[in-house]
Amino acid sequence: MYAEERRRQIASLTAVEGRVNVTDLSKRFEVTAETIRRDLAVLDSEGTVHRVHGGAVASQNFQTTELTVDARSKSASGAKSAIARTAMNYLPDAQGGMFLDAGTTLAALAELISKHPLAHNWSIVTNCLPIAMQMAAAGIEEVQLLGGSVRSITQAVVGDTALRTLALLRADVAFIGTNALTLDHGLSTADSQEAAVKRAMIINARKVVVLCDATKMGCDYMVSFAGLDDIDVVITDSAAPQSFVEALREREIEVVIAN
Q: Cα separation of 246 and 68, whole Å? A: 32
Q: What is the pLDDT of residues 15-72, one digit of tens each?
A: 777 788 999 999 988 999 999 999 999 888 877 788 888 998 876 555 555 555 555 5
Question: pLDDT tier at 75 (50, 70, 90 boundaries)?
Answer: low
User: How confident is the model at residue 11, as a pLDDT?
Assistant: 78
Contacts of residue 256, Cβ cutoff 8 Å, sequence gap at least 6: 86, 89, 233, 234, 235, 236
Mean pLDDT, the chain, as a whole number? 88
> Using DSSP, how many helices (H) and how many strands (E) does the chain show?
10, 15
User: How confident is the model at residue 190, as a pLDDT?
Assistant: 87
Q: Are strands 254-258 and 233-237 parallel, antiparallel or unpaired?
A: parallel
Give the end-to-end CA distance of the chain in Å, rounded to a whole number. 15
Q: Do the two domains 3-58 and 69-258 of this chain adopt the same fold?
A: no
- pTM of the shown model: 0.78
Q: Is the dihedral of CA 226, 231, 236, 238 positive or negative?
A: positive
The highest-level CATH class for domain 3-58 is mainly alpha
Question: pLDDT tier at 235 (50, 70, 90 boundaries)?
Answer: very high
Say yes or no to pLDDT of 179 above 60: yes
Burial of 47 from C-beta contacts in 10 A (0-12 / 13-18 / 19+): exposed
User: How confident is the model at residue 133, as a pLDDT?
Assistant: 92
Per-domain residue ranges for the chain? 3-58, 69-258
User: How confident is the model at residue 219, as a pLDDT?
Assistant: 81
What does CATH list as the number for 69-258? 3.40.50.1360
- For the segment 111-137, the average pLDDT, to the nearest whole number, is 93
Contact criterion met (CB below 8 Å) for 240 and 249:
no
CA trace torsion 255, 198, 133, 153 (10° rounding): -100
